[in-house]
Amino acid sequence: MKNGGHFCVSDVVIKGELPVSLKKFAEMYAGCVAGAVQQDEYLDVIKSNGFTNVEIKKTKVISLPDEVLEQYLSKEEISAFREMKTDIFSITVVAEKKRKDTEMTAAAKTKKILILCTGNSCRSQMAEGFLKSFDWELEVNSAGTKPATQVHPKAVQVMSEIGIDLSENYPKMVDEFLNQGFDYVITVCGNAKENCPVFIGKVGKQLHIGFEDPAEAVGTEEEILEEFRRIRDQIKNEFFNFYKGII
């Protein structure tokens, strides 16, 4: 990985000890449980390999019910395991490859980007998700001139298919950002372009990268989903080209 690059990884770690007999079974290795290392040790390995800003973004407890353990351990071993109070977690970790001093200076100039749409429920949300996935250092927000009540469920679904989580996103009113300065303000639908608000703060460049609204698609459930996927892929390609042009 090049200096300044970012990575995101999900893995299973533990706090405590696993029974030796549990580690012998291939099924537990396949589930990443038997081979799990201590959480602190896992993070130290990442840091020792030249990564900085190591951060756990998500933590999920993994429970091993007795009916599963009974396939591998005796009742006495299960009882002993419970007394050990070992915690097993699935964690998602992000980190950055350490930069050289000259690269750190350039990285300090974090780009601020605002993406505008009408409802802030589909296209602008997907564009925000893609830009953040390209580079954790970008400061990206999206908003709408007439925000919907929620992010479109099908937008959440098709982005989840490629590993980008929009489930906790919500539409925002553009007024929240009028007094802020941005390097780029990008409109992604014609309606927002025609009614783009005047920004009081400094705006480096205003761009328009337009896409059809997948929420207007008609047909069967699968046909509508395919339209969402088509627009999703267009947004990914166009915004990756934009990203390459600003780094």
Q: Which residues are catalytic?
A: 117, 189, 196
The phi, psi pair for 168, rounded to 5°, reads -100, 0
Going by their DSSP bridges, the two strands 87-97 and 139-144 should be labelled as unpaired
Question: φ, ψ for residue 52 (rounded to 5)?
Answer: -125, 175
DSSP-based three-state secondary structure for 38: strand
Going by their DSSP bridges, the two strands 87-97 and 51-61 should be labelled as: antiparallel
Give phi and psi for 74, each to the nearest 5.
-75, 170
What DSSP state is assigned to residue 215? G
- Residue pair 127/157 in contact (Cβ under 8 Å)? The answer is no
* Bridge partner residues of 87 (DSSP): 15
Look at residue 162 and give its three-state secondary structure. coil
Instruction: Report the run of H or E that residue 79 belongs to, with start and end.
Output: helix 75-84
- Report the C-alpha gap between 102 and 107 in whole angstroms: 9
232 half-sphere exposure, CB direction, 13 A CA radius: 22
H/E element holding 105? helix 101-107
